[in-house]
Amino acid sequence: RPRLASPLAIETRFWSLVESTPENPSECGVWAGTRNGSSKDPTKWYGRFSWGRGTEQKAHRYAWSLHHGREVPAGMVVDHLCRNPWCVRPSHLEAKSQAENCRRRVDAKLTHATVREMRRLHAEGQTAAKLARRYGVDPSHVSRILRPHPERGHPASWEGV
């Protein structure tokens, strides 16, 4: 019968696969282990950590769980506050709903100047679909920008823009 690794040995192995500088906590702890994803762009892939027989998890979710001493709550995703999908530094990770994670991703892409430009182009006749393609976001997000409404959850950072 194979001997199972202790939780401490698994945790030690996990952190040995992270490139980081402990003296600078604002820097990402970059996962140096296996990475995979469905995107054709490997910079968008997530780290994968496996242990035991067939047990595998996304590296950032495993890091969040280690830090908090529990599993990620059901229905939640682990968001990278630093926007780096390879980062596993616990202070850069936060459990969020998928909807909130998507909103934050779009907010990170769009500056105040971009939002003002979108509204100007729309006033000049460009459709939300064209603007979405131009700025690489979903048309529903463009619609939220063009017609902000508090009940629909437009970001507070867009108010007055």
Q: What is the pLDDT of residue 159?
A: 53
Q: How many residues does the chain have?
A: 161
Instruction: Please check whether residue 50 is in contact with residue 34, taking contact to mean a CB–CB distance below 8 angstroms.
Output: yes
Instruction: Please check whether residue 95 is in contact with residue 76, taking contact to mean a CB–CB distance below 8 angstroms.
Output: yes
Q: What is the pLDDT of residues 107-135, one digit of tens each?
A: 777 778 888 898 999 999 999 889 888 88
Alpha-carbon distance of 19 to 60, in angstroms, equals: 13
- What secondary structure does DSSP assign to 138-154, as a single string? -HHHHHHHHS--GGGT-
Q: What is the pLDDT of residue 1?
A: 47
Total-model pTM: 0.67
Alpha-carbon distance of 57 to 47, in angstroms, equals: 9
Task: Name the nearest CA neighbour of 63 among 95, 93, 27.
Answer: 93
The residues facing 34 across adjacent strands are none
Q: Is the pLDDT of residue 38 over 60?
A: yes
Mean pLDDT across the stretch 52-81? 92
Q: What is the pLDDT of residue 21?
A: 64
Residue 3 — pLDDT band, cuts 50, 70, 90?
Answer: low
